[in-house]
Amino acid sequence: MRLSDYDYHLPDALIAHQPAAQRDASSLMLVRGPEEREVVPFHDLGRELGEGDLLVFNDTRVVPCRLERHRSTGGRVEIFVLGPVDGRWDAGPGPVAVHVLAKPSRKLRDGERLGDVQLVSRRDDGSWDAQIDVASTLAEAMEDSGTVPLPPYIVRRRRELGLSALSDADTSRYQTVYARQPGAVAAPTAGLHFSTELLASLGRQGVQTATVTLHVGIGTFKPLDENTAQGDKLHKEWYEVGDGLAAQLSAARRVIAVGTTSARALEDQASRFGPRRTQAGAWSTQLFIKPGYDFGTVDALVTNFHLPRSSLLVLVSAFAGAQTIRAAYEDAVARKLRFYSYGDSMLLLRSR
């Protein structure tokens, strides 16, 4: 696999820095093949779906895990809590072991205390093992003092430090309307387009819904390097599957994954148990879906437009075909659609 095949030119003006005025008022590109494309409002999604179709959502909830703390000298430090070491956001009360990024990082030292955060040791990659003192649980502590961790390509920054200068909409709009389980440090962005009104409308059409919970990690933003691209494993992410999902998948006319994270969880289960099969429980996956992968469960995919050289762009290319995705992205740029987390989306359709 050549990483150069997953590059494309994107004018800076097409990166979406703000969400659409309404969730379901964004644009949706319907992609049926290399030359079969149509752009419609997202709220017209229902015209492509029907009774017996099953939408599978990722109901992870973004934790407001970006903190501002101060050194003893008075200098401010931005801390990005990547997650608890044991994966449990419900850990506490007391000190909780976490993995964090901190900046500016150059002058920070092992053992340094920044209020309720203590940096324990710096890792080889520049991140830190740390501890946070919490009165209840880690998730609740983040809700009390943290802010939304907007992606680095959304440029609305406070000049003096680099913390996100949030708009009034970010707290609600960088979260899906069905988010339930705290644990993600980035939103499953394909789901940001769904409003409660659209979900109700789809339900009246007989479209079924189901959920998985995959906690999106910081690795989702990490560009692929040549070594990773040639391997068969990606960064590890945790996910959970409920008791009733297997029956819903078996009964579905088509399974439509909402987002690459939902697709990754479903296909990890398929790789373990067979097409459209799941087993309830908590799991981790390092599944790397790239061209040549045989999809066992997902029939269609709702997905945003992704970063160049990213594992997400590779996944959608594996699903719809590299030529189809390349043509769709070129068309999206020509039509001036909006890209990345707050941008527009695609519905990728294919026959089994």
Could you tell me if 167 and 43 are in contact, meaning their C-beta atoms sit under 8 angstroms apart?
Answer: no
Distance between CA 26 and CA 22 in Å, rounded? 7
Sheet with 117-122, edge to edge strand ranges: 66-70, 76-84, 94-103, 128-134, 117-122, 113-114
Q: What is the pLDDT of residue 153?
A: 86
Write out the two tokens for 163: 């913390």
- As a residue count, the chain comes to 352
Q: What is the pLDDT of residue 171?
A: 87
Residue ranges matching CATH 2.40.10 in the chain: 66-145
pTM over 0.95: no
Distance between CA 137 and CA 93 in Å, rounded? 6
Per-residue pLDDT 10s for the chain (352 aa) are: 889 999 999 999 999 999 999 999 999 999 998 899 999 999 999 999 999 999 999 999 999 999 999 999 999 999 999 999 988 899 999 999 999 999 988 889 999 999 999 999 999 989 999 999 999 999 999 999 999 888 888 876 544 444 555 666 788 999 999 999 999 999 999 999 999 999 999 999 999 999 999 999 887 777 898 888 888 899 889 999 999 999 999 999 999 999 999 999 999 999 999 999 999 999 999 999 999 999 999 999 999 999 999 999 999 999 999 999 999 999 999 999 999 999 999 999 985 4
The structural architecture, per CATH, of the domain 66-145 is Beta Barrel (2.40)
**How far lies 54's CA from each of 178, 295, 348, in Å?**
16, 16, 15
Q: What is the pLDDT of residue 166?
A: 67
Residue ranges matching CATH 3.40.1780.10 in the chain: 3-62+170-349
Q: What is the pLDDT of residue 199?
A: 98
Q: What is the pLDDT of residue 161?
A: 41
Q: What is the pLDDT of residue 316?
A: 97
Write out the two tokens for 271: 């790789």
Q: What is the pLDDT of residue 318?
A: 97
Please, what CATH class does the domain formed by 3-62+170-349 belong to?
A: alpha beta
**How far lies 130's CA from each of 148, 166, 253, in Å?**
20, 26, 48
